Amino acid sequence: MENKQVDAIVKEISDNINTIKTKGEAQDAQLKSLDAKIAANQWQLGDKYEALRKDFDQMTAVLKKGRIFGAYDRGMTVKDMLYAQKEGLASLKNKAGMPVSLSLKAHQLFTKTAGNVTEGGNLLGTDPIPPTRLMGIYADPLRPVHIRQFMNSTATDSNQILFNQLTGENDGTGTTAEGSSAAQSDFTITAKEVVVRKLNTYLTISKEMMEDADFVDNYINTHVAGRLLMQEDTQIISGNNSAPNLQGIAPIAAAYANPVIPGATASSINYYDVLHQAVTQARVAYYTPNYILINPNDYNALVLSRDSYGRYQFPQMISGAPGTFFINGAQVIANTAMTAGYFLVGDFQLGATLAYRDEVNVTFSNQHVDNFVKGFITVLVEERLANVVYRPNAFVYGNFNQAEASGS
């Protein structure tokens, strides 16, 4: 460190010491700041450190005469001092550099206890090796992927969504002879309304938990909000649109047509056949399905299916890559939101949109029953949204067992 810098540090500290002496009274906050600055710059001050430290200690001793231990007397903890000297301590690892000394007060070496004082104490506290607290609350994980991640979404500032749906059509398009009249085309449009619904839950915790445990915040933001999103998944797939439920996709999706699959027999038909046919059904209706949602157990049965010779079945129309699996152009998604034994194939881009009135909000309040007098806090987690399924035929919903039985 350059002499000019050292001199500047020495002057700054000396000037402050003289200021405190002139005032003739202890300035606890200022003393603590100076103590920290002297300790932090010990490595740079070199041989000038001892003189500054001696001057500082003499001055503080005079100021504290006749005083009961105050805030300053507690001084820097050993841990703080070690942190202030981290640069010097690091150099000692390489066997180079000046010695590092800590100026300790006697009361910094002990911790008050309600019981008897025992031998074998240590400088860093009552625990020989202080424990490390890991942040968060550890529990089994919740669903990592949610249905909203496959869908369109939009914001709304209303409590209802209105749209016009084509519900009837008579196509008169065709060729005509010269001089003949064109055939008439008719269509019927029906105004549809989807109401914004609310999903929520609440829990009660103590003020002490909020003040003393940061991990409670982690639990609320991940676990509680995560369960709300899982309920959202259920509503998006199977809600019956009867208040307070959302409009689900499955109840109004096109039912799997249960066609007879050419060449299939009761013993040979499998999940591949059914899902390939379901995608084809949507394609015939001019949609392009991009996702196939099935339960993880059905996904397992799909990829592990074998023929009569014990060979794994992976037909030519199936394509796979790391982390992806496609049947007839649609990606297969294993998700616990789907009930085992059922499948949902769909063009999620054209078929539906999630409209959010209020995204997931977390509110803290003591204004609930007798929370105020008991020192409790209520945590409310809620969202308001609507699932607008404006093209139900973009989706095909079915049951594997029925589909296999009818397909053969």
Omega into 244 within 30° of 0, i.e. cis? yes
- Do 235 and 246 meet the contact criterion of CB atoms below 8 Å apart? yes
The whole-number pLDDT of residue 213 equals 58
The whole-number pLDDT of residue 52 equals 78
Contacts of residue 391, defined as CB under 8 A and 6 or more positions apart, other chains included, come to: 287, 347, 350, 351, 352
The whole-number pLDDT of residue 109 equals 45
The whole-number pLDDT of residue 115 equals 47
**By CB neighbour count within 10 A (0-12 exposed, 13-18 middle, 19+ buried), where does 345 fall?**
buried
Q: Which two tokens stand for residue 365?
A: 């309040």
What pTM was computed for the model? 0.65
Tell me the residue type at 146. Answer: H
In the chain, how long is the greatest CA-to-CA distance? 121
Dihedral of CA atoms 398, 401, 404, 408 in degrees, nearest 10, equals: -130
The whole-number pLDDT of residue 399 equals 96
The whole-number pLDDT of residue 90 equals 56
CA atoms within 13 Å, Cβ hemisphere of 386? 22
The whole-number pLDDT of residue 140 equals 84
The whole-number pLDDT of residue 75 equals 53
Contacts of residue 124, defined as CB under 8 A and 6 or more positions apart, other chains included, come to: 78, 79, 130
Phi and psi for 66 in degrees, rounded to 5? 75, 0
> Phi-psi category of 99—alpha, beta or left, where left has phi over 0 and alpha has psi -120 to 50?
beta
- Do 326 and 223 meet the contact criterion of CB atoms below 8 Å apart? no
- Strands (E) across 93-231 are located at 152-155, 160-170, 186-195, 197-206
The whole-number pLDDT of residue 279 equals 96
- Kindly list the structural domains of the chain, giving each domain's residue range(s) and its CATH number in brackets, ordered by start: 3-108 (no CATH), 146-154+198-408 (3.30.2320.10)
Report DSSP state, residue 129: S
Rg (CA), the chain: 37
Contacts of residue 92, defined as CB under 8 A and 6 or more positions apart, other chains included, come to: 99, 100
121/128 Cα distance (integer angstroms): 8
Contacts of residue 251, defined as CB under 8 A and 6 or more positions apart, other chains included, come to: 238, 239, 240, 241
Tell me the residue type at 49. Answer: Y
21/286 Cα distance (integer angstroms): 89
Bridge pairing between strands 324-327 and 318-321: antiparallel
The whole-number pLDDT of residue 230 equals 93
- Please identify every stretch of the chain with a pLDDT value under 70, giving residue numbers as ranges: 1-3, 6, 20-29, 43, 61-130, 133, 135-136, 210-215, 314-323, 408
The whole-number pLDDT of residue 391 equals 95
Contacts of residue 377, defined as CB under 8 A and 6 or more positions apart, other chains included, come to: 204, 205, 206, 207, 210, 364, 365, 366, 371
278/289 Cα distance (integer angstroms): 9
The whole-number pLDDT of residue 79 equals 56
CA 230 from chain centre, in angstroms, equals 13
Report the first-to-last Cα separation within the chain, whole angstroms.
Answer: 87
